[in-house]
Amino acid sequence: MAVRELLTLGTELRLAALGIECAHGVGLLHEELQRALDEARADAAGLFSASAKSYTFRDAGGIRVAGEVDEHEPGDIWLVVDGPKKIEEDLARIVGLAKTYARQLDSDQQPPDAS
């Protein structure tokens, strides 16, 4: 049974992908990850009208990792994992850590207050 977690397209997705790769020793298609990020930037810049999109980051060895973007929330992606029970159980923990570290990284990149 597949499990789904919602992430923002950007640092959260990058860190979650890294977490899946490291925790389970599986490779993801980085070209597909980059395509998702590039299309999200293009949507945000208004270069395209936002539409529903799907991405396959891995579909091999009994593990499928995919992403689904809803046309109404083009800055977010549902990360969908279908595979062994262990990888499915770990997804929520990996995504939680990815969100925590993404917030820290993103706040570190903010310029200091000029006050």
Where do the domains of the chain lie?
Answer: 3-104
Query: What pLDDT score does 114 carry?
Result: 52
pLDDT at residue 71 in the model: 86
Q: What is the pLDDT of residue 113?
A: 62
Whole-structure pTM value: 0.86
The tokens 């293009």 sit on which residue? 42
Q: What pLDDT was estimated at residue 44?
A: 81
pLDDT at 49: 72
- Give the closest residue to 1 by CA, choosing from 82, 91, 56, 69: 82
Low-confidence ranges of the chain (pLDDT < 50): none
Q: What pLDDT sits at residue 32?
A: 97
